[in-house]
């Protein structure tokens, strides 16, 4: 690995990351800010994309193509789909899908378009490092499926659709688009989320209350992983 990208979607998701760094160089590009810094000798680029799949794809592509990152970690928050997940719990994606990708009218399954796959796997190697870090630091993590869509989900009906269709454990708004970019560009990637809400009718209230604390739980863990790569 030569240069590591660490991205989030929202400012609140990267603020606790930036606290680990001194001497940060900020570059403005494509209507966004990229923070270049060093972590124990490793060159790191940090950015938040803004919410949603399109912005996340742009940022992931930029970090790889313009800044030369050859490994990508994502840190942020998610809504729980798996009922065992509580606020603050950590989820490592072993695979991701787009729950709002829908050409079912043409006989295709949800989440599929020709030339793509319903699920994209994350880097097994990085997951193994992450699980060892968790074990060594007594951090509890669930490895599972993350479903991504351009919707903030706050309905049990939609959540159950995502559970039943994709067997997802958590949902958010960026991960699978980052997966598409990294997969196409052969960049090993890792998507980490800490639960901020249960994607139910209280989700918007819980999200506002727990965004910062859950983002910090994810950021603290992702920094430990970055130091172990």
Task: Kindly state the DSSP code that residue 4 receives in the 8-state scheme.
Answer: E
- 175-195 core/surface letters (b: 16 or more CB in 10 A; e: else): bbbbbbbbbeeebbbbbbbbb
Tokens 């938040």 appear where? 48
**Interface with ligand ADE, residue 85, by CB under 6 A:** no
Stretch that binds ligand ADE, among 66-74, 77-85, 90-98, 103-111 (CB under 6 A): 77-85
Decide if 163 contacts 81 (C-beta within 8 A): yes
Stretch that binds ligand ADE, among 57-65, 91-99, 102-110, 151-159 (CB under 6 A): 151-159
Among 118, 120, 171, 176, binds ligand ADE (CB under 6 A): 171
Query: What would the two tokens of residue 223 be?
Result: 């920094």
Q: How far is the CB of 148 from ligand ADE (least distance, A)?
A: 8
**Interface with ligand ADE, residue 8, by CB under 6 A:** no
Compute the distance between CA of residue 127 and CA of residue 91 in angstroms, rounded to an integer: 11
Identified catalytic residue from 12, 13, 94, 100: 13
- Of 36, 39, 42, 41, whose CA–CA distance to 66 is shortest? 36
Pairing of strands 141-148, 3-8: unpaired
Quick note: the x/- pattern for ligand ADE over 184-203, rule CB under 6 A, is ------------xx-x---x
Does the active-site annotation cover 40? no
Q: How far is the CB of 80 from ligand ADE (least distance, A)?
A: 8
**Interface with ligand ADE, residue 174, by CB under 6 A:** no
Provide the 3-class DSSP secondary structure of residue 151: coil
Decide if 182 contacts 176 (C-beta within 8 A): no
Residue nearest to ligand ADE (CB): 79
Compute the distance between CA of residue 172 and CA of residue 79 in angstroms, rounded to an integer: 6
Based on CB atoms, which residue is closest to ligand ADE, 189 or 210? 210
Query: What would the two tokens of residue 144 be?
Result: 């599972």
Does the active-site annotation cover 12? no
Stretch that binds ligand ADE, among 81-89, 117-125, 133-141, 168-176 (CB under 6 A): 168-176
Compute the distance between CA of residue 105 and CA of residue 228 in angstroms, rounded to an integer: 46
Query: What would the two tokens of residue 27 be?
Result: 């570059």
Based on CB atoms, which residue is closest to ligand ADE, 126 or 162? 162
Quick note: the x/- pattern for ligand ADE over 207-226, rule CB under 6 A, is x-------------------
Based on CB atoms, which residue is closest to ligand ADE, 94 or 100? 100
* Residues designated catalytic: 13, 197
- Give the residues lining the site for ligand ADE (CB under 6 A): 77-79, 152-154, 171-173, 196-197, 199, 203, 207
């Amino acid at each position: 690995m030569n240069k590591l990208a660490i991205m989030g979607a929202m400012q609140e998701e990267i603020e606790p990351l930036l606290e680990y760094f001194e001497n940060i160089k900020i570059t403005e590009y494509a209507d966004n800010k990229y923070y270049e810094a060093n972590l124990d000798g490793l060159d790191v680029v940090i950015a938040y994309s803004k919410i949603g799949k399109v912005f996340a794809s742009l940022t992931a592509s930029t970090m790889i193509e313009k800044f030369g990152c050859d490994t990508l970690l994502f840190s942020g928050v998610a809504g729980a789909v798996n009922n065992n997940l509580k606020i603050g719990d950590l989820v490592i994606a072993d695979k991701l899908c787009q729950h709002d990708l829908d050409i079912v009218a043409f006989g295709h399954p949800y989440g599929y378009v020709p030339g793509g796959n319903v699920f994209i796997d994350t880097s097994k190697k990085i997951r193994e490092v992450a699980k060892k870090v968790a074990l060594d630091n007594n951090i509890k993590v669930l490895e599972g499926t993350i479903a991504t869509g351009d919707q903030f989900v706050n309905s049990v009906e939609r959540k159950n659709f995502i559970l039943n269709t994709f067997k997802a454990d958590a949902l958010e708004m960026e991960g699978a688009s980052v997966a598409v970019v990294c997969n196409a560009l052969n960049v090993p990637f890792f998507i980490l989320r800490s639960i901020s809400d249960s994607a139910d009718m209280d989700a918007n209230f819980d999200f506002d209350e727990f965004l910062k604390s859950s983002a910090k739980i994810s950021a603290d863990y992702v920094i430990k992983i970055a130091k172990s790569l």
